[in-house]
Amino acid sequence: MNHDSREARVDVVIPVLNEAHVLEKSVAVVHDFLEKNAMFRWRIVIVDNGSTDGTFDIARNLARTYSAVEFIHLKEKGRGRALREAWQASSSDVVLYIDVDLSPELAALPKLVAALLREGYDLATGSRLLKSSKTKRSLKREIISRAYNLFLKSVLFTKFSDAQCGFKAVTRDAVKALVPQVRDQGWFFDTELLVLAEKQGYKIRDIPIAWIEDDDSRVKIIPTALKNIRGILRLRWTLSKRRLESLVSRRPRNS
């Protein structure tokens, strides 16, 4: 996608579940950053998926306070479900998402967008695992993250470095083609999207970022990791089945 970035439209999606304690501050920080640094037209889209702690009211008030903030409310939980809803409903040139804890550096946000608008990539993902990345997180999370991505590479032979970083951007065309193929509605959504994109020849840009772990993160690491491993094995089966079907369809038929 070669696009005049000044005319391009970008949706910055923030999926939230029970984040009343941090949502208002995080949206204000992102809004201020974009006002000062964005060289494109933008809006922030908050997607509440099943919150029960007052997140709904805060998100609605933020949408009333800021003209560039919109709010989507979903009754069902699932980060993948939230991204699917916001991205498929968007008519912007690029859709991007960032975790509400703002662990990834916002300074990298324009780089993700530029990779799509100026450099011709279809997807861009922040990476905590490249040599030039700078991360501050617990040893436990570091080990699990690296082990997960190593397992992914060994099973599906992927090239991108960090499947689960909560900082990604996708072109509108890639969203239309890929998101309907993604089955997962939760945390595995990211991995499945990247794997399907890579296997179908879409260009993915790995961007090194600075990352500071959120000590208040309530992601259940081990159960989530196990679900993701099952997702990888499901994808392995799906992709193998597709290759077999493709080979059969190309096989010459006896007359």
Beta bridge partners of 69: 44
Q: Is residue 141 part of a domain?
A: yes
Q: Report how many domains make up the chain.
A: 1
The residue behind tokens 């923030």 is: 14
Q: Is residue 2 part of a domain?
A: no
Distance of CA 68 to the CA centre of its chain: 21
Range of the domain at 25: 9-247
Reduced to 3 states (helix: H, G, I; strand: E, B; else coil), residue 52 is coil
Which pTM value belongs to this model? 0.89
Q: Is residue 254 part of a domain?
A: no
Which of 122, 190, 214, 215 is the catalytic position?
190
Q: Is residue 252 part of a domain?
A: no
With a cut of 70, which residues of the chain have pLDDT below it? 1-5, 215-219, 247-255
Q: Is residue 4 part of a domain?
A: no
Q: Is residue 3 part of a domain?
A: no
Q: How far apart are CA 95 and CA 88, in angstroms?
A: 9
Query: What is the helix (H) or strand (E) element at residue 43, kind and residue range?
Result: strand 41-49
The amino acid at residue 224 is: T
**What pLDDT sits at residue 252?**
60
- CATH number (domain holding residue 72): 3.90.550.10
Which residues lie closer than 8 Å to 249 by C-beta, 6 or more apart?
A: none
Q: Is 215 a catalytic residue?
A: no
**What pLDDT sits at residue 250?**
66
Q: Is residue 1 part of a domain?
A: no
**What pLDDT sits at residue 49?**
94
**What pLDDT sits at residue 225?**
80
**What pLDDT sits at residue 255?**
42
